[in-house]
């Protein structure tokens, strides 16, 4: 069994004075973290070193469910959600398997239902430190298990890892990717601004609508060539 991965508290969405967020480090029912700030409370854990996370154990008090996200850098857009709406039994320990994902940061979003607050006794991630893996397994195993997995999960190879390339987003702008008519490669359409940006720049609305119409016409024509 893997040892617990040492960590520190990077940040939390809220914390009460009587029950601070640092209480989750104790992993005991004598103390707990409690917050009344939001319906969904988020805590970000900074691992002491980059590790392949195998599981995270949560000693729950009254949280209803949790979302689990991992990242190598502590940036909002870099977090990849790996578990959503995992039910947490009250006053019990839950084990959430992660499958040895490389990570430096672990973000947990706790959700409440009828409770007035979110309370958690403790959090304990488990995994293998990448430094230990390279030392004991050699550079070849480290490259395949850690480096390659990290490149696939967080790199630009997957559209899911590029949340800003969504031209229909309400808050961000980006690229649309459509299949080419001549071969299987894809090409990029110039970035179109988000609706939120367009509201602040009314003079550009007509130009943006024209660009959107041209994009839709091109997409329809490209789709018709497939039949």
DSSP state of 71: E
Mean pLDDT for the chain? 77
pLDDT for the residue 99: 86
Give 134's contacts (C-beta < 8 A, 6+ positions apart). 142, 146
Question: Average pLDDT of 121-141?
Answer: 82
Asked if 60 and 94 touch (Cβ cutoff 8 Å), the reply is yes
Q: Which pLDDT band, with edges at 50, 70 and 90, does 90 fall under?
A: very high
Residue 111 scores a pLDDT above 80: yes
Give the lowest-confidence range in 1-10, 102-111, 133-142: 133-142
What does the block give as tokens for 196?
């939120």
Q: pLDDT per residue over 17-63, tens digit each? A: 999 999 999 999 999 999 998 889 999 999 999 998 999 999 999 99
Q: Cα(112)–Cα(94) distance, rounded to whole angstroms?
A: 16
Among residues 35, 8, 36, which one has the least CA distance to residue 22?
8
Within 10 Å of residue 223's Cβ, how many Cβ atoms?
12
Lowest average pLDDT, out of 27-41, 67-81, 157-171, goes to: 157-171
Do the Cβ atoms of 122 and 59 come closer than 8 Å? yes
Task: Give the pairing of strands 33-35 and 118-129.
Answer: antiparallel
Q: Would you list the domain boundaries of the chain?
A: 7-127
Q: What is the pLDDT of residue 198?
A: 53
Query: Regarding the domain delimited by 7-127, which CATH topology (the fold level of the hierarchy) does it fall under?
Result: Jelly Rolls (2.60.120)
Q: For the full predicted model, state whether its pTM sits above 0.75.
A: no
């Amino acid at each position: 069994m893997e040892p617990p991965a040492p960590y520190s508290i990077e940040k939390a969405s809220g914390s009460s004075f009587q029950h601070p967020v640092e209480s989750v480090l104790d992993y005991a029912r004598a103390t707990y973290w409690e917050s009344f700030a939001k319906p969904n409370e988020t805590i970000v854990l900074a691992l002491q070193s980059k590790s392949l996370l195998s599981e995270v154990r949560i000693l729950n008090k009254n949280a209803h469910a949790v979302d689990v996200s991992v990242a190598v850098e502590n940036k909002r857009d870099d977090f990849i959600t790996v578990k959503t709406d995992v039910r947490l039994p009250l006053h019990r320990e839950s084990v959430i398997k992660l499958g040895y994902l490389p990570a430096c940061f672990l973000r947990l979003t706790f959700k409440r239902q009828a409770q007035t607050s979110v309370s958690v006794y403790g959090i304990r991630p488990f995994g293998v430190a990448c430094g230990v893996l390279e030392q004991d397994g050699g550079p070849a195993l480290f490259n395949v298990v850690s480096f390659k997995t990290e490149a696939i999960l967080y790199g630009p190879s997957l559209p899911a890892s590029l949340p800003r390339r969504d031209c229909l987003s309400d808050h961000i702008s980006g690229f649309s990717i459509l299949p080419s008519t001549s071969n299987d490669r894809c090409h990029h359409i110039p970035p179109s601004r988000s609706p939120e940006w367009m509201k602040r720049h009314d003079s550009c609305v007509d130009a943006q609508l024209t660009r959107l119409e041209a994009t839709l016409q091109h997409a329809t024509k490209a789709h018709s060539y497939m039949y």
